[in-house]
Structure 1
Amino acid sequence: MPSNLIVDGVRIAYRDRGEGEPVVFVHGTPSYSYEWRNVVPHVEAVGHRAITYDLLGYGRSERPVDRDTSVAAQTDLLGGLLDALGIEQATIVAHDIGGAIGQRFAIAHPERVRRLVIIDTVSYDSWPSETWRKLIEEQVEEHMQLPQEAFDALLTRQLEMTVADGAATMTGDILDAYLAPHRSALGRVSFFEHQVRHYDSRYTEEITDQLASLTMPVRILWGERDQWQPLTYARQLAEGIPGARLTVIPGAGHFVMEDAPERVTEEILDFLAD
């Protein structure tokens, strides 16, 4: 079970294990730190301090009714989390919307980021999809009122798209774990209020010209079969960030750590060893 930490007046659920160089994992959406369960133990085992946490409004962290949970606000909270844990500099491993947080944090605080790994990340104008944009503009309030069964069906359809074979992978205990934070009225509202409302490409478009300023080592990992973030954006990031190395993982979808946890772990450990 995670521990809890107060950061800037809000409760953040986190896990901090191991010793050595700190590696901080930032999850995406619709997700929480559960997505790193098959990667983090191996990072700890080779001698690193591994920190996972749930973004504010996600997973087991607080779900405040009157607090900004946008990408920009989450970036500030990442800095506060590092301060609270006494970490001056860390490697950041970030996925999906967490990748936007990682990009922004590395640009704003380059001295605090030793290395940056971005995995199937939102970037530039890659998000939200037309479906999510329409929902945000016209149907958020309506969707907040969905009964549990209808909400579970909606989120299950989305989660099945995150992996190469949704029917085989996103099922049973794994599907239940991803649905668990939202199996209450508060959880359903929180999904739309703290996650969907903040699907906004301005948070990545406004840093486009600053990506070229990054000087720390950067590794980009991408699932070949990502249905949400096309490979064209991975290649654009690799060209836009000096010295960035792109690795495409065959047969994997957007949640590449579900489809290919061994390969993701191998790539991260290789990067940490450089």
Structure 2
Amino acid sequence: MITEPRARRAPPSKVPRPARGWLSAALRLLVAALLCVLLVVALSWVRMLWVEDRSPRQAAPAQGRWLHAHDVELYVQEFGDPAAPPMVLTHGTGAWSGTWDQNVQAMAAAGYRVIAVDLPPFGFSTRPAARDYSRCAQARRIIGLIDALKLGPVTLLGHSYGGGPAAEAAMLQPDRVRHLILVDAAIGLLENPAPAKSGGVVAGLFGIRPLRTALIATVGTQPLFSEFWLRKFVARKEVVTSSRTEIYRKPFVLDGFTASLGDWAVQFAGESGRSLSERPEGFRRLPMPLTLVWGQEDTITPLSQARTLQQLVAGSRLLVLPGVGHIPQIEDPALFNLRMAEVLRYP
């Protein structure tokens, strides 16, 4: 019996040796890059633990003081005649009361008692035990500060991130505010607020406190990146000098500072339509005068947002500052102080 020969099986395909070499090299590079990233993160974490070892009372400038407001002790610095009409300043992201150093004397000279406050977790105010940095909670701290000062209604100025809590405070307790000034404010108006959605894997990982603390320690409170981030917020890059950046970095020594920034960031990113000041109707009902001061070159909160706010509030006025971006008070202090003096003298 003659049988047909079996068909030979094709040998298994093999990756050519040059390709295997490339794959092996790429894998080694990937592993090396991952190890480098892990090393940088670990070193940043160690630096954070080493540097963040001071309490607010140990680290804060001596000229300020703390006042109990709502659920925290707010650190404030005061300038001008104690008997003059009061003016409260709230700062933006990453700033604190000390970053108004080029402006407070001009505001005081315009005839005001200027009170610059640190909104937690920024600056030297204590942090809330509940880790609540929502806009409403910040607004209640501002209201608590006004009540603690016992000065009656105040002129309230909010810059950037601080503009949201300032506007919210004016809406929650309009009798505490006689004039609201918003400077390049991050309001985030929503016509029809939608329910918050899950942000996926990245948002899920950022929701894990140790992971987000490590991330912020690596790229946020890492001093090597401070000038880089500050330049992102200004149109005039030359104002971001080492001495200016050092002022912004002063609170970096506080115990738990980096972790608290992560707590704030999660809430700031997740707020959507929960505040009165995120809704157009909240601005339409504002009973006090509203002044908007905006950098013409602002790319963080563009001028179009200021024009929208102006349309919502009858009788409001908009002052556009040419040649500056999101932080006009440090980009052109002389121009900012001149326009602010006009606003304060003729409200």
Normalization by structure 1: what TM-score?
0.88
CA contact (8 A) 2:91 2:158 kept: yes
Is 1:111 matched with 2:175? yes
Q: Please tell me whether residue 34 in structure 1 is matched to residue 103 in structure 2.
A: no
Q: Which has the larger radius of gyration?
A: 2
How far apart are the structure 2 equivalents of 1:240 and 1:137? Answer: 37
CA separation in 1, counterparts of 2:143 and 2:233? Answer: 28
Q: Which amino acid aligns with 2:252?
A: H
How far did residue 72 of structure 1 move?
0.6
Map of 1:1-274 to 2, 5 A cutoff? Answer: 1=61, 2-19=64-81, 20-125=84-189, 138-139=205-206, 141=209, 142-146=211-215, 148=217, 150-151=219-220, 152=222, 153-166=224-237, 168-183=238-253, 186-195=256-265, 197-199=267-269, 200-202=271-273, 203=275, 206-274=278-346
Deviations 1:98-117 (A, max 9, x none): 11112112222222211111
Single out whichever of 207-216 and 47-56 deviates more from structure 2: 207-216
In structure 2, the gaps of 5 or more residues are 1-60, 191-198
Deviation at 1:8, TM superposition (A): 2.9
Aligned length: 267
SS at match of 2:256: helix
Q: Which amino acid aligns with 2:236?
A: D
Identity %: 28
* Compared CA separation, residues 255 and 206, structure 1 to 2 (3 A): closer
Report Cα offsets for 1:210-253 as digits up to 9, x if no partner: 21112322110111111211111011011111111111111111
Cα gap change, 1:6 to 1:136, in 2 (>3 Å): farther
2: CA distance between counterparts of 1:146 and 1:216?
Answer: 42
Q: For the residues of structure 1 that align with 2:232 and 2:279, how far apart are their CA atoms? A: 28
Q: Secondary structure at the match of 1:47?
A: coil
Structure 2 length as normaliser, TM-score?
0.70
Higher strand share: 1
Amino acid at match of 1:241: V
Q: Which moved more, 1:210-219 or 1:237-246?
A: 210-219
Q: Which deviates more from structure 2 when the two are superposed, residues 262-271 or residues 152-161? A: 152-161
Q: Does structure 1 retain, via aligned residues, the 8 Å contact 2:146–2:176?
A: no
User: 1:138-174: CA deviations, max 9, x gaps?
Assistant: 43542311485643245543321111133x2223111
CA–CA distance in 2 between the matches of 1:78 and 1:205? 15
Q: Where does the alignment leave 5 or more consecutive residues of structure 1 unmatched? A: 127-132
Contact kept, 8 Å, 1:161 with 1:227, in 2: the verdict is no
